[in-house]
Amino acid sequence: MKKGSFTQGEIEKVKKTLLEYAYENNISEDGLIDLITEKQKKGETSAWTKIAECLPERSVQSIHNLCHRLYDPNNYKGAWSTEEEQTLLKY
């Protein structure tokens, strides 16, 4: 299995496959968000097994984790506010 950072080409391939999977299975935007945000259970056969076929040299878990990092709307990607920094320093 290949480890390390995903290349931009791999990321694009996973994104395309994820969207194709959603289209083929009539998964709505909310359903796609649920799929991305759910925890991947060990040994469970799921949509991620099918999606991961686009990059056979990568593990299913690594592809799930990539999508979770990139496409989970709950992942905050902005800068810290002054108030957040002060709260962080306080704790």
pLDDT tens string 50-73: 999 999 999 999 999 999 999 888
What's the mean pLDDT in 12-17? 95
Helix (H/G/I), strand (E/B), else coil: 75? coil
pTM for this predicted structure: 0.74
Extents of the domains making up the chain: 8-71
Number of residues assigned to the chain: 91
Do residues 37 and 74 lie in contact, with contact meaning Cβ atoms separated by under 8 Å? yes
Rounded to a whole number of angstroms, the distance between the first and last alpha carbons of the chain is 40
Reference 47, options 17, 75, 13; nearest CA is 17
C-alpha distances in Å from residue 87, one per residue of 62, 80, 90: 33, 11, 5
